[in-house]
Chain A
């Protein structure tokens, strides 16, 4: 129960490699989302789109045991949620979001 079979581990490894190959595309999606966010002055819809993307990255990266990426994506997702819940575009919140977003992009680009 504690160890997966060699076949399953192999499949997971292959999946992880495919996942890594998808990073440039994911980074592109994140960057497009971020540009939209900035051009529309952090509108609620754009924050929601970014949050959804970050949520997916946090979930999948964690399951691939890529904990740094999981952590950075999750932190940024939490900030998006806070901004949505508070219905605000506080500059400090957005500065935090930008910093988490940039950290995530940096980590993903390192592995691309």
Chain B
């Protein structure tokens, strides 16, 4: 048995020796040759004379620490020899043990190469990511820029068509034509708003503001919006409410209303005759709103993608960019809810919005937004343009608010410190102390009064900056009295 092991060991040694070509070179302290074991020619080394310096052929000896045991994993020397080197000191001699390491060297090179390739790929990936980010920013700037470019002429068309329609010298047909221009300009404006909103949602820059509000206010608003003869256009509009509905819930009233206006608006848009019914219910701590119509229904093959962006059914006869339902579904998700569709061709559609919401107490909110109740409310207008201040003052007077004026950020900070203010209306582009600086300053001093930022910029980044600094709402200039009043009422109604 041991005989076999010895034979195997001999073969193994011979195999290892053939593979690794061991060479031992004994040298003294001056790196001079003493003796050797193995084939010098395997490493292209000459037959050294005793006492001959080995430094030229074994250059790695130079500067080596004089230790008992030194290991150099891979050494490239003397015309491309690749070896692993171990040096052992025994008494006055050192024994340089060379073992061929070509394979190991190749593996190491492969690892290095692979690592370099990974680094290159990573760099490439970083470059591509940067390029994508730049492209995305460019897209956002383009959308924002174009929105302004579109908005300005459309505002002009809206203004003039409105003036034209009010002109007493026009006959009925001409008034209708002017109204048609106004309607279509309004429609274009809403398309632009949708594109902007979709871009905001894509960039995850659209925020929701959860606050308690009276559910009945929302229901009344919906009733007023869609219940008029003009709006219902011959269709029957039913508004149903369950007795189990809570008085106050926590959600984003503006966004919730936006979703409902979109779904109900679609129901009216696509229903030629019959009815549109909106049912508000409260089931398992969820607000459930069902919008049922007697319209043509949606074929099953369109239903799967109905909430996708730019997805449209019936695109031939009705206008739209196909973004409304996508925005509504995304907003529902942001409000911890979901939007579902059930529809059968020829039998109408049912859109159901389910929203998780906490029930609140009516004590925690300002219940009444009746104008007479605003008499005591003080609005600080921070605006350096006197002309605009006068216009805002007329709007605010009209709705019963008391106006306090500050013509600079510095004055605004003083007024906020010394006066009891219910709301701040702040120009974001003030000279010296900017609007953003004013908001940051106020918020850092625990000023909790709601602030509405105003700017002429249609750039979404400005809006995000204002909201991030601490504004509660944002208005684009030129300020229209309806949007101003709506924003103020919403803010005061939301604010706890």
B411 lies within 8 A of chain A by Cβ: no
- Assess the B159–A12 pair: CB atoms within 8 A: no
Stretch at the interface among B26-34, B101-109, B380-388: B380-388
In this complex, which of B156, B427, B479 has the most chain A Cβ atoms within 10 angstroms of its Cβ? B156
Chain A residue nearest to B371 (CB atoms) is: A1
Partner of A8, one of B388, B394, B429, B479: B394
- Assess the B431–A63 pair: CB atoms within 8 A: no
Chain B residues within an 8 Å CB radius of A19:
387
CB distance from B179 to the nearest CB of A (A): 15
B447 lies within 8 A of chain A by Cβ: no
Chain A residue nearest to B394 (CB atoms) is: A11
- Assess the B152–A60 pair: CB atoms within 8 A: no
- Assess the A67–B391 pair: CB atoms within 8 A: no
Q: A19-B387, A55-B456, A60-B391 are in contact. Are A8 and B485 (CB under 8 A)?
A: no
A85 to B391, CA, bound (A): 31
Chain B residue nearest to A16 (CB atoms) is: B391
Chain A residues within an 8 Å CB radius of B160:
67
B453-496, CB < 8 A from A? 456, 477-479, 481-482, 485-486
A65 lies within 8 A of chain B by Cβ: yes
- Assess the A74–B388 pair: CB atoms within 8 A: no
CB distance from A24 to the nearest CB of B (A): 15
Chain A residue nearest to B152 (CB atoms) is: A71
Interface size class of B (residues with CB under 8 A): 20 to 34
Interface size class of A (residues with CB under 8 A): 20 to 34
Q: A15-B390, A71-B153, A71-B156 are in contact. Are A8 and B478 (CB under 8 A)?
A: no
In this complex, which of A19, A56, A63, A75 has the most chain B Cβ atoms within 10 angstroms of its Cβ? A63
B397 lies within 8 A of chain A by Cβ: yes
- Assess the B384–A15 pair: CB atoms within 8 A: no
A63 to B381, CA, bound (A): 15
A52 to B408, CA, bound (A): 13
A5 to B371, CA, bound (A): 13
A19 to B160, CA, bound (A): 19
- Assess the A59–B156 pair: CB atoms within 8 A: no
A62 to B388, CA, bound (A): 9
A91 lies within 8 A of chain B by Cβ: no
- Assess the A62–B431 pair: CB atoms within 8 A: no
CB distance from A100 to the nearest CB of B (A): 12
- Assess the A67–B156 pair: CB atoms within 8 A: yes
A68 lies within 8 A of chain B by Cβ: yes
A68 to B155, CA, bound (A): 9
CB distance from B454 to the nearest CB of A (A): 9
A34 to B121, CA, bound (A): 53
- Assess the A5–B155 pair: CB atoms within 8 A: no
A19 to B388, CA, bound (A): 10
Q: A12-B391, A59-B478, A63-B391 are in contact. Are A74 and B385 (CB under 8 A)?
A: no
- Assess the A15–B391 pair: CB atoms within 8 A: yes
A61-93, CB < 8 A from B? 61-65, 67-68, 70-71, 74-75, 77
Chain B residue nearest to A48 (CB atoms) is: B431
A8 to B159, CA, bound (A): 19
A58 to B429, CA, bound (A): 12
Chain B residues within an 8 Å CB radius of A74:
152, 456
In this complex, which of B152, B156, B159, B163 has the most chain A Cβ atoms within 10 angstroms of its Cβ? B152
- Assess the B391–A64 pair: CB atoms within 8 A: yes
A67 to B156, CA, bound (A): 5
Chain B residues within an 8 Å CB radius of A111:
none
Q: A12-B394, A68-B156 are in contact. Are A60 and B385 (CB under 8 A)?
A: yes
Chain A residue nearest to B157 (CB atoms) is: A67
Partner of A59, one of B155, B388, B395, B481: B388
B398 lies within 8 A of chain A by Cβ: yes
- Assess the B482–A1 pair: CB atoms within 8 A: yes
- Assess the A2–B482 pair: CB atoms within 8 A: yes
A22 to B156, CA, bound (A): 22
A12 to B431, CA, bound (A): 26
A11 to B398, CA, bound (A): 11
Partner of B456, one of A8, A52, A59: A59
> Could you list which residues of chain B lie within 8 angstroms of chain A, going by C-beta atoms?
152-153, 155-156, 159-160, 163, 384-385, 387-388, 390-391, 394-395, 397-398, 427, 429, 431, 456, 477-479, 481-482, 485-486
> Could you list which residues of chain A lie within 8 angstroms of chain B, going by C-beta atoms?
1-2, 4-5, 8, 11-12, 15, 19, 22, 52, 55-56, 58-65, 67-68, 70-71, 74-75, 77
Could you write out 19 A-B pairs with CB less than 8 Å apart? A1-B486, A8-B394, A12-B391, A12-B394, A15-B391, A52-B431, A58-B456, A59-B456, A62-B456, A63-B388, A64-B391, A65-B159, A65-B478, A67-B155, A67-B160, A70-B152, A71-B152, A71-B156, A77-B456
